[in-house]
Amino acid sequence: MSTRGTLALCIILALLGWIGLASFTYYNPPDIWNRWIVVVALWPTLLTTFLPMVYMIYWRLGQQEGNMSLIARQSALAALFVTMCVALRLMQAFNWAKASLLLLLSVLVEALLSAREKEP
């Protein structure tokens, strides 16, 4: 699939995901199981939301074309970071120290995966 097609599909899936999350949270009571369903559904919704944004950042910075796997990985890590923060908040265990640690781990994972790709 072309880059343009992938971005169009991500935008459509992101809109459908946010509409689905909004309708699910509107029509269902906030009990424990429904909260975890929202957390599980939040990750792919955020992934498809972040992917076009990260692509536009790379495009504006003038990076080379054809790095869609890198963009997808960075979008997935950002979505995982936000989802983990939401999950910790639902468990009432979220604080800035844990958010900083999660951010540090996300940056470390990205740095290690990027270094692994650049090996000859």
pLDDT of residue 114: 83
pLDDT in tens, 65-110: 658 888 899 999 999 999 999 999 989 998 999 999 999 999 999 9
State pTM to two decimals: 0.86
The mean per-residue pLDDT over the stretch 14-37 comes to 92
pLDDT of residue 65: 64
* Distance from C-alpha of 40 to C-alpha of 89, rounded to nearest angstrom: 14
Instruction: Return the pLDDT at 39.
Output: 92
Residue 62 pLDDT grade (very low, low, confident, very high; cuts 50, 70, 90): confident
- Report yes or no: 52 and 4 within 8 Å, Cβ to Cβ: no
Residue 120 has pLDDT above 70, yes or no: no
Tokens matching residue 69: 């796997």
Instruction: Please report the pLDDT score of residue 60 as a whole number.
Output: 86
Buried b (16+ CB within 10 A) or exposed e, 28-48: eeeeeeebeebeebbbebbbb
